[in-house]
Structure 1
């Protein structure tokens, strides 16, 4: 019996010992796969990355102590070293840096420069590396427009771009209180606009007893060309950055299209009848805003967020009922879908890429992908929760007084902490909302987004260096002539009967060569989409 007891004790002891050994082995195995990046980061040396980037606040150049960069370093276990300066300085230094052959690990710049110098070997293609970057894959590669706007002509991605959050750009706005005073509805069609502007001119719309002091329509004429936005009604864009558009399988140059003649004829009629500010083509912002806050201007086309913010300015409070409201893009016929070509592209020109000499590719791609994540998006747009922003129960972000009450404005405060940097991250719509001058201005800013008033973006064409240089050379000559003639047609210095002569002159300026370059680039664009 005693012998049996001893045997049982021995068996129990062996079992306990085996369990202990097994547990120790299990613990050892789990330690090879850290439970979190945070634990792993704290026990390893930080990756060191040099960054070439413009600081957005000239009085707060980026350093390892800049809030956003400090937080990125802490979260990703990276030690940053900066080569920085103001935007102008760094833009000028970019080609010098490339030609020197001495590259920082990470470089911030314009998409077009990464594509140009990437194909020359200065920056690495990122296509394969993006396959292991789920956030970049989702928001860049899986979005046709974002991807094609970033691709180089050789089909490679050489940089990760900034993605815009609000497509709203410019459009028409009208004094709603003037409409109400005259019993008019918001204009929709071009005919509606004509009737509204005529009423503003003839019927004492500002209610001061003088029916001759109103300027029905005005805007800034130089260097911007907001007055061209009414061409949306004809389905074309006459602004210099949007004159080529895709139609029926080819690229079309809008200023010589018959629809341009119809638009110019309408604008000439409005101008000749005194519905358009006689000084509009040379009108500067200072005089323009002075007229607005002297209660003279009934309607305008401009940056929507800018004019919508007028309602809350102190000068406006002195004018009873002052109320600018955005209208839909104009249409020709009642019931037509209101659409605009004037919109922000999904990609902002700024991006960042990885130089050919980067020796820490894994850490760099981890950084790039983190910045594209939801968590990284919040950090780069708003900063650190509890310090620069708070969230309410609905998840709505609000800036703390540190940002909202900054004497130099919200934007400057954000730039100083490193938010909204000029690199490849995703802008957040809440950033625009949190920065709005008022709830009304915010509602107007998002009106076009909420109603999806946007045409499909124009194809993002890619050119060889030779074709690109020739395209720019020919375009500059032709557009200079076109700008001059469109202005003359509007104000009547040239009769519309000479429009066909104008078209012939454009075509005589080696336009056929320009068309060939566009056709070639368009075919390449379609190949890149495959």
Structure 2
């Protein structure tokens, strides 16, 4: 545990920045007259680490005069463990960043490990200050229980993320229409299973498949249940200002009963829990998969990549089928603010210069740099818009992977520009995105709760065991080794014995304080 540290009087620290009038006159983003080097621990997605040699990092250093030198191991494979080890040693760099660190920033910030940024933003970061003024929901989401902001977040852009996809060529072959409700969907999947749409004379079709098995659980929304409240799996959600968890709702019982039946009928991939991340390539590439729920941009690309291997393949997005009560729900969307970003540690001797660097990323120039890469190298301005070069768009590597390799689109505190993704999204996906957004199928995503120390203790003590039990039971119900109706009363009793109501009460307390 990091000992509580004495607050730093950052207001008295003198910045070495250029006068504001000079910067404005020259549109110079230089923060320090002399080159200033600071350290950053940033390991993210279990395989990437900040590299000062990234083109984006080099360009930012050129423009601002500040170089962030990465100190996280580039061979590490567990970002969270590396963060924990750093905190245990107490040897903190100037800046700490990465994905899924919000709760850690709150926890250790309130203990003194990270600086409160409120005054620094107010006095030295005009672009960040304006962003928070324009987006009060974001400000609430990143404010710790003590009223302080300890990190600058990654802010997504756009609404749509994932959607339902179906083999239109299979529908056409069988003379079927796109399913409009859950009963029609059951009928279509049954036809996919029994009527040989791939034409090989075998009953080998897999009607519904998913790369990540929680996308199977997402189907509970077809019966008005919920599987999560955000863009992460298995999260709490809010209904009528009440903190709820989908796997404890009565609608979930009905949904599990139906999913277990669909699995028994062979409508769901029998290897959905074990096939893994390449199931999309395998099942579509072998003309076996009929329907999935996945990312718009990447999923729609299979019509082109598999055109020679699977002639006539036509995988298209379609509207969420209506539930028995008539609700069409797309549970997954882009959350308003990510739990990713970066913070200033107590060891930082240049907090003013650092917050100005953070602020630079929210200028028009900084936002383009961290979204698209280096102008003239990765993109050019065309009709006033950042447009990728033919080399980027025509590469064998996906554009997002190219960006990660140069230091763009990484989970620092920045504002994503959806134009980065739209450029490499094909017309099929764009039509699906427009459909989901125009028809308001995508439900609001919840940004989470900033817990106090006591609330966090309750959560950490009880929730891991509760969720493990829920997921184990969930899988047993679907696979048919247990029955949801026979188990339901004992299931609810068990989760309450494990502390579910205590966790729910702690989160409700935090929600009331933060949002109400």
When the two structures are superposed, what TM-score results if normalisation uses the length of structure 2?
A: 0.83
| 1:520 equivalent in structure 2 | 506
Q: Is 1:115 equivalent to 2:106 in the alignment?
A: yes
Q: Is 1:241 equivalent to 2:233 in the alignment?
A: yes
Where does 1:345-360 land on structure 2 (aligned, <5 Å)? 345-360=335-350
| 2:329 equivalent in structure 1 | 339
CA contact (8 A) 1:172 1:302 kept: yes
| 2:164 equivalent in structure 1 | 172
CA distance in structure 2 between the partners assigned to 1:104 and 1:93 by the alignment: 13
Where does 1:379-398 land on structure 2 (aligned, <5 Å)? 379-393=369-383, 395=385, 397-398=387-388
Deviations 1:405-454 (A, max 9, x none): 55655344323432223310111112222344x44345445653454422
CA contact (8 A) 1:84 1:90 kept: no
**435, 441, 449: which one aligns with 1:461:** 449
| 2:486 equivalent in structure 1 | 498
| 2:422 equivalent in structure 1 | 433
Of stretches 38-47 and 211-220 in structure 1, the one that deviates more from structure 2 is 38-47
CA contact (8 A) 1:49 1:106 kept: no
Instruction: State the 1:498 CA deviation.
Output: 0.7
| 1:312 equivalent in structure 2 | 304
CA distance in structure 2 between the partners assigned to 1:279 and 1:96 by the alignment: 36
When the two structures are superposed, what TM-score results if normalisation uses the length of structure 1?
A: 0.81
CA contact (8 A) 2:161 2:296 kept: yes
| 2:173 equivalent in structure 1 | 181
Q: Is 1:420 equivalent to 2:412 in the alignment?
A: no
CA distance in structure 2 between the partners assigned to 1:89 and 1:272 by the alignment: 37
CA distance in structure 1 between the partners assigned to 2:206 and 2:462 by the alignment: 38
Secondary structure of the 1:301 match is strand
CA contact (8 A) 1:254 1:260 kept: yes
**453, 462, 467: which one aligns with 1:474:** 462
Bigger share in helix = 1
Aligned-residue RMSD, C-alpha: 3.3
Where does 1:360-371 land on structure 2 (aligned, <5 Å)? 360-371=350-361
CA distance in structure 2 between the partners assigned to 1:413 and 1:272 by the alignment: 42
Change (3 A) 1:187 1:144: farther
Of stretches 155-164 and 275-284 in structure 1, the one that deviates more from structure 2 is 275-284
CA distance in structure 2 between the partners assigned to 1:466 and 1:429 by the alignment: 38
| 1:378 equivalent in structure 2 | 368
CA distance in structure 1 between the partners assigned to 2:192 and 2:30 by the alignment: 68
**128, 142, 150: which one aligns with 1:150:** 142
Unaligned runs of 5+ in 1: 1-30
**223, 238, 253: which one aligns with 2:245:** 253
Secondary structure of the 1:326 match is strand
CA contact (8 A) 1:350 1:424 kept: yes
| 1:52 equivalent in structure 2 | 40
| 1:224 equivalent in structure 2 | 213
CA contact (8 A) 2:332 2:445 kept: no
Secondary structure of the 1:343 match is coil
CA distance in structure 2 between the partners assigned to 1:39 and 1:165 by the alignment: 26
CA contact (8 A) 1:163 1:427 kept: yes
**288, 294, 313: which one aligns with 1:302:** 294
CA contact (8 A) 2:436 2:442 kept: yes
Change (3 A) 1:267 1:55: closer
| 1:201 equivalent in structure 2 | 193
CA distance in structure 2 between the partners assigned to 1:96 and 1:281 by the alignment: 32
Q: Which has the larger radius of gyration?
A: 1
Unaligned runs of 5+ in 2: 1-18
| 2:256 equivalent in structure 1 | 264
| 1:212 equivalent in structure 2 | 203
| 2:11 equivalent in structure 1 | none
| 1:94 equivalent in structure 2 | 83
Change (3 A) 1:174 1:517: same
Secondary structure of the 2:343 match is strand
CA distance in structure 2 between the partners assigned to 1:214 and 1:41 by the alignment: 58
